[in-house]
Structure 1
Amino acid sequence: MDQNLLEPIPDISFGEVIYQQLLKKLKHQPALIDGHSGEKITYSELLKKSCWLSEALINSGYGSNVVIAISSKNSLEYFQPVIASLFIGAIIVPLNPDYTNTELNHVLEIFKPKIIFCSPDILHKFMKKKEEMNFIEKIILIDTDESAIGAESLKNFIGGHINGSEKFSVFHTVDTKNQIAFLLCSSGTTGLPKGVMVTHHNLNTVFIQFRDSRIYEQDVTSICVPPFYHAYGLFSTLMGILTSGPTVFLRRFEGKVFLKSIEDYKVNRMYLVPPLLLYLDDCPFLKDYDLSSISEAICAAAPLKESTERTIKERLNLKVIKQAYGLTESTYVAIFNQNDGKEWKPGSCGKILPYMQLAVMDRDTGEFLEPNKTGEICIKGDMIMKGYYDNPKATQNAFTDNGWFLTGDEGYYDEEGYVYITDRIKELLKYKGYQVAPAELEGVLLTHEDIVDCAVIGVPDDKAGELPLAFVVKKKGALLHASDVQNFVQAELSSPKWLRGGVVFLDEIPKSAIGKTPKKQLRCLLENNVVSIENIYKRRELLK
Structure 2
Amino acid sequence: MVVQWKRRCDSNHLGHFFVDYMRRRANEICQIDAATGQEETCASVLSRSIRLAQCFRKFGLVPGDTIVIGGKNHLDVHIPFYAAMMNGLPVGGLDPAHKCNELKHLFTLIKPKIAFCEYQMFEEYKNAIQELNISTNIVTFGGGENSLVKFMEDHRASQREDEFQVATFNTDEVYCWLVGTSGSTGQQKIVALTHPHLFQMTEFYSYKEPKNGERKTALNSSTLLWITGCFNALLMPINHVKLQSSAPVTTEHIIDIINKYKPGGTLCTPTALAPILHHEKHCDLTCFDVIKTGGTKVHKELLANLKARMRPDAVIQQGYGLSETGGLVMEQRPEDPIESVGTLDPKYEAKLISPETGKEILEPNVTGELIVRGPTMACYYNDPEETKNVFTEDGYLKTGDLFYKDEHGYYYFVERLKMLLKYKSYQVIPPEVEEVILKHPGVADVCVTGVPHRDDGEHVVACVVRRPGHRVTANDIKELVAKHLSSFKHLHGGVVFMDALPTTVSGKVARIEVKKLALTAHKE
Equivalent residue, structure 2, for 1:49: 48
Report the counterpart of residue 86 of structure 1 in structure 2.
85
Superposed displacement of residue 107, structure 1: 1.5
Q: Distance in 2 between matches of 1:334 and 1:121?
A: 38
| Counterpart-to-counterpart distance in 1, 2:241 and 2:138 | 30
Q: Aligned letter for 2:305?
A: T
Q: 1:397 to 1:305 in 2, by over 3 A?
A: same
Query: What are the within-5 Å matches in structure 2 for residues 458-537 of structure 1?
Result: 458-526=450-518, 529=520, 532-535=521-524
1:442 matches 2:404 = no
Aligned to 1:270: 266
Deviation at 1:447, TM superposition (A): 2.0
d(CA) in 2 for partners of 1:51, 1:159: 16
Shift of 1:314: 0.5
1:208-227 to structure 2, matched below 5 A, reads 210=205, 221-227=217-223
CA distance in 2, matches of 1:475, 1:462: 34
Partner of 1:299: 293
Unaligned runs of 5+ in 1: 536-544
Write the distance in 1 (CA, Å) between the matches of 2:340 and 2:411.
6
2:178 corresponds to which residue?
183
Paired with 1:355 and 1:365, the residues of 2 have a C-alpha distance of: 25
The 1:163/1:37 distance shift into structure 2, 3 A limit, reads same
Q: Say whether residues 1:367 and 2:360 are aligned partners.
A: yes
User: Deviations along 1:394-430, whole A, 9 cap, x unmatched?
Assistant: 1112111111111111011223332211111111111
The sequence identity of aligned pairs, in percent, is 27
| Aligned twin of 1:356 | 348
Q: How do residues 373-452 of structure 1 correspond to structure 2 at under 5 angstroms?
A: 373-385=366-378, 387-452=379-444
Partner of 1:199: 194
Q: How many residues align?
A: 514
Cα pair 1:335 1:351 within 8 Å, conserved: yes
1:176-228: CA deviation from partner (whole Å, max 9, x where unpaired)? 333211211111345121111111121111235555969x9996531112223
Measure, in 2, the Cα distance between the counterparts of 1:22 and 1:452: 57
**RMSD of the alignment, in Å?**
2.6
1:68-217 to structure 2, matched below 5 A, reads 68-142=67-141, 144=142, 146-148=143-145, 151-154=146-149, 156-158=151-153, 160-166=155-161, 167-174=163-170, 176-207=171-202, 210=205
Partner of 1:17: 17
Distance 2:127 2:384 in 1: 31
Q: Give the AA of the match of 1:32.
A: Q
C-alpha change, 1:163 and 1:9, in structure 2 (3 Å) is: closer
> TM-score, length-normalised on structure 2?
0.91
Distance in 1 (alpha carbons) for counterparts of 2:21 and 2:405 = 36
Structure 2 contact 71–77 (Cα < 8 Å) conserved: yes
Give, in whole Å, the separation in 2 of the partners of 1:358 and 1:8.
27
Question: Given residue 40 of structure 1, which amino acid in structure 2 is its aligned partner?
Answer: E
Distance 1:376 1:391, change over 3 A: same
CA deviations over 1:480-515 (Å, ceiling 9, x no partner): 122211221111111111122222222222333433
Q: Is the contact made by 1:9 and 1:205 (CA closer than 8 Å) also made in structure 2?
A: no
Query: Any conservation in 1 of the 2:202–2:231 contact (CA below 8 Å)?
Result: no
Counterparts in 2 of 1:217 and 1:394: CA distance versus 1, 3 Å: farther
AA aligned opposite 2:18:
I
Contact 2:206 2:236 in 1 (8 A): no
Change (3 A) 1:347 1:62: same
Structure 2 residue aligned with 1:538 = none
Distance 1:293 1:128, change over 3 A: same
SS for the counterpart of 1:476 is coil
Residue 369 of structure 1 and its aligned partner are, at CA, apart by 2.7
Q: After superposition, give the CA deviation of every residue in 1:343-362 in whole Å (9 maximum; x if it has no partner).
A: 25222222333533333222
Query: Out of 325, 329, 347, which is 1:334 matched to?
Result: 329
Contact 1:334 1:383 in 2 (8 A): no
Q: Is the 8 A contact 2:99 2:125 kept in 1?
A: no
Match of 1:316 among 307, 310, 314: 310
How far off its partner does 1:379 sit?
2.1
